[in-house]
Chains A and B, each alone.
Chain A
Amino acid sequence: MSESEENEKEQKKVKIVSSADIIAARGKGRELAKKMGFSVVDQTKITTAISELTRNIVTYAGRGEVTIKKARSKTGGKNGIVVVCIDEGPGIEDVGLVLKGGFSTSGSLGLGLSGAKQLMDEFEIKSKPGEGTVVTIKKWLRR
């Protein structure tokens, strides 16, 4: 089995519908991060980032799905964890504004997004009004 196939097999998918699912997603995240050997601080950061993003899904999109699995950097050499949060919510009109806005202008949505961005090594968001949102976050194992 190739490495990417192995990673696919080990991935955890959690459907996000209610706030109870936030806890489930966090648990899966912590589990995989711990298994991969992330430090306690990094485990906590990863789990918290997952919490922020899934909470956004529940609050703003209604429903979505989170996929958590191992990642390998393109240039080889680095192992890490990648979390993809997909929802079919209303989408975000101006992502840049939301990320910059802080609590008052965009509510906890921006806070959650920028929080997750702050805690992880890589953060990518694709969102269009009417087309939902995909947020991908990654954290790499330190040597």
Chain B
Amino acid sequence: MLDIPILKIEDFLVVTIQSELSDDEISALQEDILFRIKDVGAAGLIIDITALDIVDSFMGRTLSNIAATVELLGAKAVVVGIRPAVAVTLVELGIRVKWNVNTALNFDRGMKLLKRLIEAERRGGAS
């Protein structure tokens, strides 16, 4: 079973997906992330998929699910590192129809966005 490290940085969790994951690994990861968020009380999550050269509709839906569940747990999620070729393909796939995920260019921008989102929420804005 692949052990994907979930790092804690400041108040956030960071997951870097290094390689192609099998469906079982994806499910396990999803469980891990959600458990850790609750466990640690994280305010935000960054999923870095820079290393992925393919994101099919299943992976896309999974990322969307993770983001939605994280919201339900009272936190924010940002996906970073979507490659141009992957972005074009995802858009062609029409994943945008159910794709309500915050996205940023890279880890740095992702952190900035997370903080902005959390701050906006704290000020009482609707999510």
**Do A and B have CB atoms closer than 8 angstroms in the complex?**
yes
Known A41-B85, A41-B88: A118·B94 in contact at CB below 8 Å? yes
User: Which of B26-69 touch A at CB < 8 Å?
Assistant: 53-58, 61
Inter-chain contact B57/A119, CB cutoff 8 Å: no
Interface of B is mostly: helix
Instruction: Give A26's nearest chain B residue, CB to CB.
Output: B54
Inter-chain contact A52/B85, CB cutoff 8 Å: no
Residue tally, chain B, CB below 8 Å to A = 21
What B residues does A20 contact at CB under 8 A? Answer: 22
Contact count band on A? 20 to 34
Inter-chain contact A48/B89, CB cutoff 8 Å: yes
User: Which of A40-93 touch B at CB < 8 Å?
Assistant: 40-41, 43-45, 47-48, 51-52, 55
A-binding residues in B (CB < 8 A): 20, 22-24, 53-58, 61, 83-86, 88-89, 92-94, 98
**Apart from A23-B22, A44-B89, A115-B94, what 8 extra A-B contacts exist at CB < 8 Å?**
A30-B53, A44-B86, A44-B88, A48-B55, A51-B54, A55-B58, A103-B98, A118-B92
